[in-house]
Amino acid sequence: MPDPDAIDDPMRDRILRATFKVLCRHGYGKLNLSDVAAQAGISRPTLYKSFKSKDELLSAFSEFELELLRHDLDRAIAGRRGRDRVDALLDFLVDFYTSYQMRGLIEIEPSLVLEQMTTSLPVLVDLVVPVLAKQVPDPETVAQALVRLSLCHYLIPGYDDDRMLEQLRAAVGVR
């Protein structure tokens, strides 16, 4: 769980957003703190006040991304009930996975992306299960199917990307 004080820290937020941009360009293997500091428009010593090491920065970045994802999902389903809530979830998944800017990492560091997806799958499923609760007979299994199908579209863009929403609807059992 991210440190609540850190979430409201504008400098930390600025550094983490800069980290995203640098990662999109260079990947994890070539990430260096000088590039992050330059992208954030700060000095390295200023960066080191918030993050003592590259590992600490990457760990915080993972938490930051998950928190942003949670926030965006919550906003997408806010005030919706029943089928509308499920539809909002499916629209969110399509929008997120078709627009996520770190897709280029697949070409830069495919093995690392696959490794990260392995650890991310359960976390993503845990985000989706509550939205499906009381809407489908087995929310855990349906959430797993939705996440895997979405990740497949993300990792391997193809001829049927325009049919992703239909595929997600079929996985949920709605048309």
Question: What domain count does the chain have?
Answer: 2
Is the domain of 16 the same as that of 67? yes
Round to whole Å and give the CA distance between 84 and 2. 30
Task: Write down the pTM of the prediction.
Answer: 0.84
Is the domain of 89 the same as that of 150? yes
Q: Which of 78, 95, 127 is the last residue of a domain?
A: 78
The domain in which residue 160 lies consists of 80-175
pLDDT for position 109: 82
Is the domain of 31 the same as that of 71? yes
pLDDT for position 144: 97
Q: pLDDT tens string for the chain (175 positions)?
A: 344 444 578 999 999 999 999 998 888 888 999 999 999 999 999 999 999 999 999 999 989 988 999 999 999 999 999 999 999 999 999 998 888 777 777 778 888 888 888 888 999 999 999 999 999 999 999 999 999 999 888 888 888 888 999 999 999 998 7
Is the domain of 123 the same as that of 98? yes
Is the domain of 119 the same as that of 167? yes
